[in-house]
Amino acid sequence: MLETKKVLFIGAGSMAEAIAAGMVAQDKLPASNIIMTNKQNEERRIELMKKYKIGALPYHEAKIDESDVIILAMKPKDAENALLELAPHVNSNQIIMSVLAGISTSYIEELLPEGQPVIRVMPNTSSTIGESITAITGGNSVSMEHIELAKALFTAIGRVKVIEEEQMDVFTGIAGSGPAYIYYILEYIEKTAVAEGLDEDMAREIAAQTIFGASKMVLDTNLDPETLRKKVTSPNGTTAAGLDALRENHAGQAFSEAILSAKKRSAQIREEFEKVSV
């Protein structure tokens, strides 16, 4: 079923490229069934067309009515005008999937014909290497068949979870902003390792592989992080000493506050956008 679908991207930025690249690499559907559009940047369209063998057109030349799935991937500030332009050309047999940060399904539904299926999708930046954790949530006119189609498409860039829309802000705080938290940890591990005499490249690889390996242990063993932590922590050992230092410096609380602060800001951005756009 999936291989017959025609997918149209409105917007041709890095996220659109990551998704399209994943679809092509994993043979989700023929490259010729993927059309990338933008309004002005012809050089970008040519680049994507040559690199992935997909279609690429100016937006005004796209045959919107022939698309099964339309992925909104323009800049969020351009969303309102783009949706108003799109509205006369879509029907309820087509699925609108939005990767626009901070824009709710209800906002999109208000600007499109009644009964239009809308799915909100939130990948993270690891999508560029096929390792995203992506959340999807359906609007009022979305069926389980629509959700399954979205899951099938977005597994091209990593793992997919279906959540309620009210959970999108906390998902943003964890998965959307989370890569930056990990990079921050890696920065400090690397700096400390270099200060203690390790080569910078070696320090970086050791730190990154350690975090990768620990993450893979959680995913592959189905053991919770607390159990795994206790299994590798011997009384009065080196790991116990390191963990004591983290506790003394309130590292756990700092991470909780980081997630909650990002969640709060996500909600603020969404509310500010929708207030201005009403």
DSSP letter for 7, please.
E
C-beta pairs of 235-242 under 8 Å, 24+ apart in sequence: none
CA distance 8 to 263: 31
Tell how many helices (H) and how many strands (E) occur in the chain.
Answer: 11, 8
Tokens standing for residue 39: 């309004």
Owner of token pair 């983290």: 246
Whole-number Å distance between alpha carbons of 169 and 51: 34
Q: Which two tokens stand for residue 274?
A: 């929708």
Nearest to 8 by CA among 27, 29, 25, 33: 33
State how far Cα 222 lies from the chain centre.
Answer: 23
Identify any residues that bridge with 57 across adjacent strands, giving them in sequence order.
37
Placement of tokens 């410096």 in the chain: 249
Measured CA to CA, the distance from residue 117 to residue 136 in angstroms comes to 13
Provide the b/e sequence for 128-158 (b: ≥16 CB within 10 Å): beeebbbbbbbbebbeeebbebbbbbbbbbb
Position 162, amino acid: V
Q: Cα(234)–Cα(226) distance, rounded to whole angstroms? A: 14
Q: Which residues are annotated as a binding site for NADP(+)?
A: 10-15, 73-76
Residue stretches of the annotated binding site: 10-15, 73-76
